[in-house]
Amino acid sequence: MRIDILTLFPGMFEGPMTESMLWKARDRHLLDLRLHDIRDYSTSKHRAVDDTPYGGGGGMVMKPDVVTVAVEAVLNGAPPDTPVILMTPQGRLFSHEIAVSLARQQQVIILCGHYEGIDERVNALVVTDEISIGDYVLTGGELAAMVVVDAVARHIPGVLGAEGGADRDSHADGILEGPQYTRPPVFRGLSVPQVLQDGNHDTIKRWRRELGLRRTWLRRPDLLLKASLTEDEQYLLATFADEDARKSNASK
């Protein structure tokens, strides 16, 4: 898969994109990540990329001519319908589902907004999608773009080993993962649960699912609305709800 990133600050990507899993994915040619400096597409004497906003209000706006030409240069030769994603706090909220669907693309182009934003005509002309990573404002789209690249790369076949398959992740089926342990069996008086030490894989699977479900119930009940649960799991949820009801009655 190929991902092109257009940014005013390509240097910001140096560390995160050259370490760990992302570097391995690039090294093994599973991820072809290319950085483009938007400033290279400016034709003005001082290589200007931004200008003051019409109507005032302070800050600077990225120029439509420079940004549009930069995107078109990268689009040249890309498959038809290649997504051009603008990273902006006004975008739709990034999710597991969006990560999976982007990972199915041959190529994705990501445009990092900066300053007060990008001239709206860029959206009309070349942007096909706008993505935000959460309800807070970052100083630029770069860190958000790195989050998207990382989350997408995990779903490119071969990037994760067979063992750590992305289909077992928290959020893959709308349920959070349960707790994990490694040796030693007792650390500062805290033991690894006996069921894990016993090593019965069916029992462990059920135990993990139950704890994941309980954790989801406690921390992210909103996720349960869209989770697909077996009858057993729905029954478990009902018992959590009963326990809560009993506890709250007892404290009255």
The residues that are catalytic are 89, 116, 154, 169
Question: Which residue lies nearer to ligand 6GU by CB, 109 or 236?
Answer: 109
* Separation between Cα atoms, residue 214 and residue 139, nearest integer Å: 37
Q: Which of 132, 155, 176, 217 binds ligand 6GU (CB under 6 A)?
A: 132
Q: Which of 16, 53, 140, 174 binds ligand 6GU (CB under 6 A)?
A: 140
Is the dihedral angle over the CA atoms 172, 24, 10, 124 positive or is it negative?
Answer: negative
Total residues contacting ligand 6GU by CB under 6 A comes to 13
Q: Token pair of 163, please? A: 């063992």
CB of 144 to ligand 6GU, least distance (A): 3
* Separation between Cα atoms, residue 245 and residue 249, nearest integer Å: 6
* Separation between Cα atoms, residue 39 and residue 46, nearest integer Å: 10
Question: Which residue lies nearer to ligand 6GU by CB, 50 or 178?
Answer: 50
CB of 55 to ligand 6GU, least distance (A): 21
List, in sequence order, every beta strand (DSSP E) within 61-191: 61-62, 84-93, 107-112, 117-118, 129-132, 186-187, 190-191
User: Is 54 a residue that touches ligand 6GU (CB under 6 A)?
Assistant: no
Q: Which of 33, 66, 71, 87 binds ligand 6GU (CB under 6 A)?
A: 87
Q: Which of 7, 68, 88, 123 binds ligand 6GU (CB under 6 A)?
A: 88
Q: Of 201, 204, 205, 202, which is closest to residue 193 (Cα–Cα)? A: 204
Question: Which residue lies nearer to ligand 6GU by CB, 147 or 213?
Answer: 147
Q: In this chain, which stretch among 82-90, 119-127, 198-206, 214-222 interacts with ligand 6GU, using CB under 6 A?
A: 82-90
Question: Which residue lies nearer to ligand 6GU by CB, 27 or 120?
Answer: 120
CB of 203 to ligand 6GU, least distance (A): 41
Q: Of 150, 204, 152, which is closest to residue 178 (Cα–Cα)? A: 204
Q: Which of 45, 54, 80, 136 binds ligand 6GU (CB under 6 A)?
A: 136
CB of 134 to ligand 6GU, least distance (A): 5
CA distances to 9, 22, 56, 58, 118 from 53, in Å: 21, 37, 5, 7, 10
Rg value, the chain, Cα: 23
Tell me the residue type at 21.
M
* Separation between Cα atoms, residue 123 and residue 23, nearest integer Å: 31
Question: Which residue lies nearer to ligand 6GU by CB, 137 or 186?
Answer: 137
Binding residues vs ligand 6GU (CB under 6 A) = 87-89, 113, 132-134, 136-138, 140-141, 144
